[in-house]
Structure 1
């Protein structure tokens, strides 16, 4: 495997960086090693037929800068020369992108790999702590974020290098534990006969959970969007919405705790994305920490493990910029994920 400590991993500036999610795409250009990334307005993936169209119209046509390289983080597994986004219609084809947009070098990462890189690129002013003890400086970390889907990535430190670990952890099983769960879970929409974390812990998952609670109690479900549900829950104006948010943070705490155990995340568990940022008051009400720490026989270990909400609105771009500037700081595997002019 080839890692970023290899001498030939350096990218030529200017570098286009992009965080490509299922709903939104965020772009910036890094001019040199010391410059802050120049950010551009957020792009809606539904507004453009292809990623090339979006980059040309929303970025390249709006600046005199001509990127020579690109580092893109996409919401989906990076496998081969055609990379499908899990929750959007775009397909990333690096060789076609090089031909049409003039890049000589393209690196494609998983979107939560970029979020993991951001964990060591952001300062404390961009972190809201949700209980636990002090984070170990080089302790392993895990990042998860409910958004269009549920993204998960790990980050471990070895040989003076931070190594991000991408994966599809959002698709792990989520099962009932309490009598109330037993009443609600039969009404949750399933995929392939099972309930995964992503079926509950994302935007559409909030709606899924809300409708399941309403069906379990024989009540009318009057809301249709995650924003309506969370707004009503935080305002205390709707009982079903309020329980939806309480159970959402409880289930998020369970899965975050499981992932914290898997990675032994003494460096912290990090929640990222717009949903986590919007529901910080609910995350601080005690239900999240109770579920997070309820991991017998390791309750004491979990009580000491810190959790942070990443509050920076462009966190993934900050992680990508850190990698673009100094790739040797990170052990990013590039085999099969880097395309260069021959």
Structure 2
């Protein structure tokens, strides 16, 4: 299906941009094509019954601006006029927003599509490199991020545009590789009989891994939150937490390497989200790169691929802003994902 013509892709300002995850939602308004996003409003999704309530009460009630367009990135597949979020009870209804919020144009993208747009927009000052390799210009890239869930997207360059490739790669199967893995995996909590990447590589997945390791060794699982486990692991104050974080980092390296092969990511692999930013020391310890590069017969290829942690605190909003200002720079297919009054 062809992309929209450049003139058809133009959005009317002011534009509301929103990055809506399972736990937090971030909003800002762009006044015109030469402006940076205004004040960012960050809300917890649990505090509002609907996304419309959050936008009205947290954003529109605090500004004299009346956005004419909205570009929203949501954690879940975009299909149809009612878009449920995967890890949040909100449902996005773009047509209803015309009346409730006064928009005349609404574009809804996948949240990691927005992260991919950010990868094409961020400078080196917002990247922390993990291991060797240098990026090839205009080569394929992949972005993944453990958070409330595990988000994945690709980014390719073709026809002089950056083209984000959204998907649900966080739900791919993941399995044991080592003898130790085979002791741990039987104790991981599955979903309908299977272990997907998201059962390990997200906040609750880290807790899942921690409990599985404790059970495998007959030890007490003292911690109940990802923050507690991460802190204890980095402080080296709890052996089970240390192994859980190393297991997490190793599995993340394996998954990142698999995706790098899928997208032939000579332009780099980009880890995003709060968890990745908090565990940079663990990512640099060696287990991540070892697992990432352990892809025989393509070990040499993997060693040349760079990996970065995105350190920008609002990367997805940055990507949405870049797209909203100049849609023609990106090959974003909006058929079935754009609503006009």
Q: TM-score range by the shorter chain?
A: over 0.9
- The Cα shift of 1:138 comes to 0.2
Per-residue deviation, residues 294-313 of structure 1 (Å, max 9, x unmatched) = 00000000000000000001
- The Cα shift of 1:78 comes to 0.1
Contact 2:187 2:215 in 1 (8 A): yes
1:105-116 paired onto structure 2 within 5 Å: 105-116=105-116
Q: Which moved more, 1:33-42 or 1:77-86?
A: 33-42
Aligned equivalent of 2:164: 164
Q: Does 1:12 align with 2:12?
A: yes
Distance in 1 between residues matched to 2:86 and 2:244, nearest whole Å: 25
Distance in 2 between residues matched to 1:167 and 1:5, nearest whole Å: 24
Distance in 2 between residues matched to 1:2 and 1:314, nearest whole Å: 31
Per-residue deviation, residues 214-263 of structure 1 (Å, max 9, x unmatched) = 00000000000000000000000000000000110000000000000000
Aligned equivalent of 1:334: 334
Superposed CA RMSD in Å reads 0.7
1:205-216 paired onto structure 2 within 5 Å: 205-216=205-216
Aligned equivalent of 1:63: 63
Distance in 2 between residues matched to 1:31 and 1:141, nearest whole Å: 30
Distance in 1 between residues matched to 2:4 and 2:244, nearest whole Å: 43
- The Cα shift of 1:3 comes to 2.1
Structure 1 moving runs of 4+ over 3 Å: none
Aligned equivalent of 1:236: 236
Contact 1:4 1:329 in 2 (8 A): no
Runs of 5+ in structure 1 lacking a partner? Answer: none
Contact 2:29 2:37 in 1 (8 A): yes
Per-residue deviation, residues 178-197 of structure 1 (Å, max 9, x unmatched) = 00000000000001211000
- The Cα shift of 1:120 comes to 1.1
SS at match of 2:195: coil
Aligned equivalent of 2:84: 84
TM-score, structure 1 normalization: 0.99
Distance in 2 between residues matched to 1:280 and 1:229, nearest whole Å: 15
TM-score, structure 2 normalization: 0.99
Per-residue deviation, residues 30-53 of structure 1 (Å, max 9, x unmatched) = 111111101323110000000000
Contact 2:28 2:41 in 1 (8 A): no
- The Cα shift of 1:315 comes to 0.1
Aligned equivalent of 1:280: 280
Contact 1:5 1:331 in 2 (8 A): no
1:1-342 paired onto structure 2 within 5 Å: 1-341=1-341
Distance in 1 between residues matched to 2:94 and 2:304, nearest whole Å: 43
- The Cα shift of 1:2 comes to 4.6
Distance in 2 between residues matched to 1:118 and 1:132, nearest whole Å: 22
Distance in 2 between residues matched to 1:132 and 1:198, nearest whole Å: 27
Distance in 2 between residues matched to 1:65 and 1:223, nearest whole Å: 45
- The Cα shift of 1:4 comes to 4.6
Distance in 2 between residues matched to 1:35 and 1:6, nearest whole Å: 20
Contact 1:4 1:327 in 2 (8 A): no
Per-residue deviation, residues 264-314 of structure 1 (Å, max 9, x unmatched) = 000000000000000000000000000000000000000000000000010
Runs of 5+ in structure 2 lacking a partner? Answer: none
